A and B are shown apart, each in its own frame.
Chain A
Amino acid sequence: MTTLRVALLHLRIGVMNDLQYRVNFALQVLQSALALATGLIVIALVYSHVAELNGWSQSELLAVLGTQILMGGVIRMLIQPNMMRLTEDVREGKLDHALTKPVDAQMLVSVREVQVWQAVDIVLGATVITVALVRLGGDLGVFDALAFAVALAFGAVMLYCFWLLLATGSFWIVSMWFLPELFEGVFQTGRWPVGIYPGWLRFGITFLVPIAFAVTVPAEAVTSRLEWQTLLLAAGFAAALFAFTRWFWRFGLRNYTGASA
């Protein structure tokens, strides 16, 4: 209970801190709009040459794009800032301070930062998904909507675990400035349904970097093509990954010798 209260308090402080900088909102809107425009142009270009891509129609692919934008917003708002702060704190010797607090350290390093304006992408992604659904006929069942929300939550948990695994690596490899670029690059694979990639790559972005679970699976739910076994697999994998991440984090902490006096 205390843990939850501390987490919420940290989030509130983060939100208030970020809300001071209002110009950033306008900049974020512009940046998101440009990214969306580029994505839409590429989709238009693809479908000017083919009628469907690997069984996905243009509107269905729009749902994939929307899901990818939404999930990207979640990551950059809540997950990535915390993980980058963790790697910087390790490098600069500030993590010791966080470790002395009488709450769970993993929780604490996961809630200290929030970049509110990234929520623009969450709203934009949801809008794109809505447009896609309207174009698809708009008969989304309650079950599909529920499956979408659940799949999205599992996906967010898996990407959080993935980020924490990487950031824990900073206990051994100190220079981690490349993480956002690396993740952003790989995360772009989510713009396309995972089925179009060759087998080795499909495996990689399903189980090594869980992008397929985070983007394709929710998009499948919202376009009524999800099988319940997939959702079950996502649940199992999310639980296993979370347990592993927790173990790895503790293992890393045991190896951490501290850098400050």
Chain B
Amino acid sequence: MSATPATSSLPQENRLRSLVDFYVTTMRTAVQQQFQYRAATYMYLVGMVAEPVIYLVVWSTIADQSGGTVGGLSAGEFAAYYIVWTLVRTMNIVFTPYGWESRIREGELSGQLLRPLHPIHYDLAWFAGGKIPWVLFYLPIAVVLTLVFNPTFDVRPLEVVVFGVAVWGAYLIRTFNQTALGLICFWTTRVGALFQLYIALELLLSGRLVPLTLFPEWVQTVAWFLPFRWTFYFPIQTLVGDLTNAELLGGLAMQVFWTVVGIGVFSLVWRHAIKRYTAVGN
């Protein structure tokens, strides 16, 4: 483009720079907030770790009982799965529909709509910033889990690189899906029921509850065609599983696909939703 539109007050490159500035500042604020309440943050993470530890213990017991492996996985592989699971879960913390519920009910959104940036940028930046302290807090937990449960890892450098990309892909998919759900609050202020259904589906079909290979074949097929699998099972498998290069890249491609779908659905819902918004508060 040779000329900027006359309506835009800022040249294109300055707009990009201020967007970057906004992200950096918001992320920094998030980091500081999380460190300020570090005891509370830590307790929250400990509560979250209980979930994988339970699954890990149950499935290791079953693997030991049935002669070393269950569904082709040994106790050590289950340990590796759930230790990486915890990191992926940490990276997958996003703004929930409950947040949208209170944001709309309490009129907080009115102020955010006045800003020149779409509110989604704030959520993306804030929760991206939160990842830094959360992952730091995760590290000692990972060390303890590793010492207690003896995971078996066999990781190639490329897998680490793909993992680094895939956790952010998962973050984007989950953010846009949950934001689209959250926007339903423009029609009803009780999004809880739908969100619970979403979480139940995610638990079963994402690999959050158990590695998907433990499910019957048809469940695995269904899961392949849904977004959930690409937010948990795929990132975990990049480190834990034995994926070929083609599978690694194919998985990333699926993540791009679901991110685009997520942005599409979100934009569509947003356009209709925002018309319905009548301000509460000031």
Contacts and interface: CB of A to CB of B under 8 A. Distances in A.
B47 A176 contact: no
Interface stretch (B11-19, B20-28, B64-72, B122-130): B64-72
A122 B255 CA distance: 41
B214 interface: yes
Interface string A18-54: 0000010001001100110110011001100110011
B106 interface: no
A191 interface: yes
A185 B53 CA distance: 10
A206 to B, nearest CB: 15
Contacts of A186: 47, 50
Interface residues of B, number: 35
A198 B57 contact: yes
Contacts of A49: 62, 66, 70-71, 214
Contacts of B200: 34-35, 37-38
A35 B200 CA distance: 8
Interface stretch (B35-43, B113-121, B231-239): B35-43
Instruction: Say what secondary structure dominates the interface of chain A.
Output: helix
- Determine the interface band of chain A, counting residues with CB < 8 A from chain B: 35 or more
Contacts of A191: 54
A198 B145 CA distance: 13
Q: Which 6 A-B pairs have the closest CB atoms?
A: A185-B47, A182-B47, A185-B50, A178-B44, A181-B47, A34-B200
A38 B200 CA distance: 7
Given A37-B200, A201-B53, 7 more contacts: A34-B196, A35-B200, A53-B58, A182-B47, A184-B47, A196-B57, A198-B57
Given A27-B190, A31-B196, A176-B40, A42 B209 contact: yes
A182 B46 contact: yes
B33 to A, nearest CB: 11
Given A49-B70, A175-B37, A175-B40, A185 B49 contact: yes
Interface in B201-250: 203-204, 209-210, 214-215
Nearest to A26: B193
A205 B209 CA distance: 21
Nearest to A37: B200
Contact of B47 (A54, A178, A196, A197): A178
Nearest to B70: A49
23 contacts: A27-B192, A31-B193, A31-B196, A34-B197, A42-B210, A46-B62, A49-B62, A49-B214, A50-B62, A50-B65, A53-B58, A53-B65, A178-B41, A178-B47, A179-B43, A181-B47, A184-B47, A191-B54, A192-B54, A192-B57, A192-B58, A197-B57, A201-B53
A196 B61 CA distance: 7
B54 A188 contact: yes
B193 A27 contact: yes
Given A23-B190, A31-B196, A201-B57, A41 B50 contact: no
B58 A38 contact: no
Contact of B61 (A54, A178, A181, A201): A54
